[in-house]
Each structure stands twice: as C-alpha cells, then as structure tokens.
Amino acid sequence: MLYRRLGKSDLEVSEISLGSWLTYGLGVEADAAKACLDAAFEVGINFIDTANVYGRGAAETFLGEALRDRPRDSYVLATKVYFPMGPEDQGLSRAQIRKQLDASLQRLRTDYVDLYQCHRYDGSVPLEETMDALSEAVRSGKVRYIGFSEWPADAIRAALDLPDVERFVSSQPQYSLLWRRPEKEVIPLCAAKGISQIVWSPLGQGVLTGKYLPDQPAPPGTRATSDEMGGFIERLMQPKVLRAVQRLQPLAAEAGLSLAQFSLAWVLREPNVASAIIGASRPDQVRENAAASGARLAPGLFTQAEALIAEALQD
Ligand SMILES: NC(=O)c1ccc[n+]([C@@H]2O[C@H](COP(=O)([O-])OP(=O)(O)OC[C@H]3O[C@@H](n4cnc5c(N)ncnc54)[C@H](OP(=O)(O)O)[C@@H]3O)[C@@H](O)[C@H]2O)c1
C-alpha cells in the first residue's frame, strides 16, 4: 500500500481507504463488516471514512465498537456532518456542529476525529458561522483537520478567503471513470490551494468492477439487488454504460489487473487525489481493491478507457 499526504495536513493516508455508506451498520451484517475492516488493516489501509448520517449513527456505532481495541493513532478517522439526524437536527449551524460532533465522538468512542467534513454546503447558514464553528472544533482538540464534500467552487473560494479560520485540507467528491465532473473546476481549484481529493464511489458502486452485465439480471448478493443498499445505483446501470464497461475488460487484462483495480488505478492517476474511498461487502473485495495501489500501467490504456466511456455517456 502506498500513502499520500492529505492536503496541507500532516496526515499520510492510504491510497485506498474504506468507507461505510450503506454497508456497515446497515446492509452488510456485522461479522462480514468486521472481516472487511480487519482485512483493510492487514493490507495497509489506514484511512476510514464515515458520516453521522450513515444508518443514522449506526455506521459510527459499528466503527466505534470494531475499532475499540486498535491504538487510536494507528488509523486516520474521518466523519461528516450536515444531513438530517432528526427533524430539527441538520445543517451546519454552530449549534449543530457542536451537537453533532459530540454525538459522533461518543458513537465512535474517541476523543477526536482526524478529519471532520461538511457533507454538503449549507446555504441557510452564514459561511462565517460554519467556519467559526469548525475552527472552534479544531482548536478544542476534538478535530484535527477539516474538509468538505461536494461544495460549489464559489463556496470553497469564499471559505478560503475568510480571515482567522482553519483551512480545509480535503474535498470529497464523487469521482470515477463514470463521473468526471470534478475535473472541470474543483480539482484545479483544490490543487492550487493545497486541498486533496478523497473520492467517493470510485468503482461506481460496483459497476466499474464489470460484474453487472448489460441486459441481464444483476447477480444475487450484489448492491443492485439489495433492498437496503440498492437505492442509488440505478443511474449507473444503463445498458449502454454496462456495455462500455465490458469493453474496458481487455484494457484491464492488458495491464494485468482486474477491472476493479484498473478503475481504481485510473482514479489514482490524478495527483490531486489522495485516496479512493472504496466500499466493500466482503474482505476479498478489500484485498483485491487494495492491490490497485502502486499499479503502473501505460497511460495509453487510460486514454482508451476514457474514450470508450465518454462515447457511451454521450448519447
Ligand atoms: N461524501 C458523500 O456524499 C459520499 C457519498 C457516497 C459515498 N461516500 C463515501 O464513499 C465510500 C465508497 O462509496 P461506495 O460504496 O459507493 O464505493 P464503491 O467502491 O464505488 O462501491 C462499493 C461497492 O462495490 C462493490 N465492490 C467493491 N469492490 C468490489 C470488487 N472488487 N468486486 C466486486 N464488487 C465490488 C461492493 O458492493 P456489493 O458487493 O454489495 O455489490 C461495494 O460495497 C462510502 O462508503 C462513503 O464512505 C461519500
């Protein structure tokens, strides 16, 4: 496993990290979830991503229990705030940040998180208030660094221009061969400002592993067939996209990689990406995906892959 510096922080994060959206505390049963986490540590993953809203606290509770016996400084722990935890509890006001951070720390059974991320931008709260509250969290020692997820470029710029507040070190966008929007504005802006990307759904929720075949039912036991986890994958499951993904198989084979590894290596080719946050329902997926770190392959293969996907997404 190779490691990259997270923005201007002193955190070194594994190129492949493990997330917990839909999976842990929710769709993947506890023993399998624990086996995935153990496999992650075995292969050198040191970076774990979660959010208060995942399973409405259940993912954090699972991680708090599963990480209990590991030295706290042996892994980098990231969580998030913004989405509703109850009818009155949402957003990025000072009161919410204080309340939700304390609740996250309690569920995670820790005194601090390494990275506290704003899960989205909250236009209903003055940016000054949000940044003040985040800075207070850092200065209190409960948070080491701050980040954001899917903020508009204007809001990122405005936050960076505020005086006397802590600086963001990370951005968490969706990014994969199937979703390249961050390349337009967010990646160049962040690269210039010392902010790294830690990207979500780098495998398009499993679509970029090639296991979903066009015009065929999804294999049993996959996210697409899951009542608990399948609610967000539909958009990526169009037959023309699945056909294009199958055309990537020979390119991955030429590189000596599985398609999952090839897709992750593509994400990691971007120097502003510090880590690709994978999801996993089984430990063998963690091991396979982790092996994408350090893969070296001819850049021409990536160019061909990009062209095939662009063509499919166009019509
Ligand atoms: N900031 C945000 O708004 C946001 C949004 C979404 C996610 N995230 C973060 O990003 C993390 C990753 O998102 P994601 O779970 O969508 O990522 P992903 O890595 O694109 O998809 C993960 C899913 O793909 C399947 N898979 C993974 N590796 C595989 C392999 N080698 N072979 C076959 N199938 C494989 C597994 O599902 P099955 O086995 O069930 O098919 C797994 O749960 C989340 O856990 C969360 O931490 C953040």
The verdict on residue 231 lying in a domain is: no
H helix or E strand, kind and range, residue 13: strand 12-14
For residue 22, report the distance from its CA to the centre of ligand 1, in Å.
8
Indicate which residues carry an active-site annotation. Answer: 54
Ligand 1 contacts (CB < 6 A) are 19-21, 23, 49, 119, 149-150, 172, 200-206, 209, 211, 222-223, 260, 277-281, 285, 288-289
The verdict on residue 312 lying in a domain is: no
The verdict on residue 306 lying in a domain is: no
pLDDT (tens digit, 9 = 90+) per residue, 79-94? 999 999 999 999 999 9
SS3 call for 134? helix
Candidate from 277, 288, 289 with most ligand 1 atoms within 8 A of CB, to mutate: 277
On whether the CB atoms of residues 204 and 223 are closer than 8 A, the answer is no
Whether the model clears a pTM of 0.75, i.e. scores above it, the answer is: yes
The verdict on residue 34 lying in a domain is: yes
pLDDT at 315 over 70: no
The verdict on residue 226 lying in a domain is: no
Closest CA to 160 of 120, 194, 121, 199: 194
**Residue with CA closest to ligand 1 atom 8:** 200
Question: Structurally, how many domains does the chain consist of?
Answer: 1
For residue 203, report the distance from its CA to the centre of ligand 1, in Å.
7
The verdict on residue 62 lying in a domain is: yes
On whether the CB atoms of residues 92 and 125 are closer than 8 A, the answer is yes
The verdict on residue 235 lying in a domain is: no
Q: Which atom of ligand 1 is nearest to the CA of 28?
A: 40
CATH code of residue 201: 3.20.20.100
Q: How much is the pLDDT for 203?
A: 98
The verdict on residue 157 lying in a domain is: yes
Q: How much is the pLDDT for 27?
A: 96
What contacts 78, CB < 8 A, 6 or more positions away? 47, 48, 49, 50, 113, 114, 115, 116, 117, 147, 170, 198
Domain that holds residue 167: 3-209+266-295
C-alpha to C-alpha distance for 206 and 241, rounded to whole angstroms: 13
Q: How much is the pLDDT for 67?
A: 98
Task: Give mean pLDDT, residues 43-48.
Answer: 98
Q: How much is the pLDDT for 185?
A: 98
pLDDT at 103 over 90: yes
pLDDT (tens digit, 9 = 90+) per residue, 248-275? 999 999 999 999 999 999 999 999 999 9
Q: How much is the pLDDT for 313?
A: 87
- The b-or-e profile of 160-183 (16+ CB within 10 A means b, else e) is beeeebbbbbbbbbbbbbbbbebe
